[in-house]
Structure 1
């Protein structure tokens, strides 16, 4: 099972060094979600992360930076999908992902993407009043019916309220990965929190 980390929406103290350390420890995919940031701010953020890890970065905005800087991929927000963006600046090996909030969307649209987030699986840690919206048994039944393919990126990734004690349930439900935000960034020691999650998932970068 893959472990994906999402950035906090706003800057936190020592964020870039913390991210760089987690990438060095084996974080395979880091989603940079910074609503409202300018192109220059995003470029500066990426520039602060060692170049050897750029292929693991996925941007939720300013997608033109992905091919320009050799980043890992593009994540489409709901607003971007609604705008019906058809020309995406992707090169071979760069991934396309998005987020869905219903099982019907997963069944209908996931083939367009390398992987998708499904949320909220549990009550969100980072968003108030963003409660769990799924029965895990129902999710498991749907995921079992989906054909699987051997790609680097997971197909359906659980998002929302993911904590260490919930990773077993996520895996048992059939998710190919878990995306975390609050469990890491709300911790007084984000790197230690990441290492705890990583030790359970047993993830490493080949």
Structure 2
């Protein structure tokens, strides 16, 4: 189990203007990792995005695909999912997507796993919570499980109390990144 509550951002699936600057701001302002999840993006698109992020921050990037880029960049890890279930040959830290309690079994070798959807999704209409957060603590204890789905900074305390090792966010970030950064700074100041 991690000794602190991890805060993770996941990119929008499409390439957006000034994205490298926004990713850099997220990392500089207290997020632990940014997951680059762009299922339709080309290898060149992902390469260009990474090249525009300062070298010192790249170790905190996780890729959800195009794992061949590990040979060219000093990245923080790979996130395995149904689209890319096989770990890259390059030595790297691994995380994984899970969507049921049963999937958590056998995930001890991963640095962390995401479990979703914990709350109703902000970014995916009709993607509703699959869990009762009050029933999860005994099932996720000591497994380094990161909550995903409908997560906002205001829910960090509730998630920590339920036994989650951290929170991954997408929808609450990209609509108004300035407002999100203010909320994150407030939670960091409060030690959540």
TM-score by shorter chain over 0.5? yes
The question of 1:62 aligning with 2:66 is answered yes
Deviation string 1:172-195 (CA, Å, 9 cap, x unpaired) is 1010000011111122xx033034
Q: Is the contact between residue 96 and residue 112 of structure 2 (CA under 8 Å) also seen in structure 1?
A: yes
Matched residue, 1:180:
169
Q: 1:31 aligns with which of 28, 31, 35?
A: 35
The question of 1:191 aligning with 2:188 is answered no
Runs of 4+ in 1 over 3 A off after TM superposition: 201-204
Q: Counterparts of 1:203 and 1:63 in 2: how far apart (Å)?
A: 36
Q: Counterparts of 1:164 and 1:117 in 2: how far apart (Å)?
A: 16
Matched residue, 2:112:
115
Distance 1:168 1:105, change over 3 A: same
Query: Any idea what SS the aligned residue of 2:8 has?
Result: strand
Once the 2 structures are TM-superposed, how far is the Cα of residue 157 of structure 1 from its aligned partner? 0.2
Query: Any idea what SS the aligned residue of 1:142 has?
Result: helix
Matched residue, 1:7:
11
Deviation string 1:42-82 (CA, Å, 9 cap, x unpaired) is 1011000011101000000101112420100001121322x
Q: Counterparts of 1:47 and 1:141 in 2: how far apart (Å)?
A: 42
Q: Counterparts of 2:189 and 2:93 in 1: how far apart (Å)?
A: 23
Matched residue, 2:151:
162
Q: Is the contact between residue 118 and residue 129 of structure 2 (CA under 8 Å) also seen in structure 1?
A: yes
Unaligned runs of 5+ in 2: none
TM-score when normalising by structure 1: 0.84
Q: Is the contact between residue 3 and residue 198 of structure 1 (CA under 8 Å) also seen in structure 2?
A: no
Tell me which moved more, 8-17 or 97-106.
8-17
Aligned counterparts, 1:93-108, within 5 A: 94-106=92-104, 108=105
Once the 2 structures are TM-superposed, how far is the Cα of residue 112 of structure 1 from its aligned partner? 3.2
Distance 1:198 1:178, change over 3 A: farther
Q: Counterparts of 2:184 and 2:29 in 1: how far apart (Å)?
A: 12
Distance 1:69 1:203, change over 3 A: farther
Q: Counterparts of 1:69 and 1:102 in 2: how far apart (Å)?
A: 33
Once the 2 structures are TM-superposed, how far is the Cα of residue 169 of structure 1 from its aligned partner? 1.1
Tell me which moved more, 158-167 or 116-125.
158-167
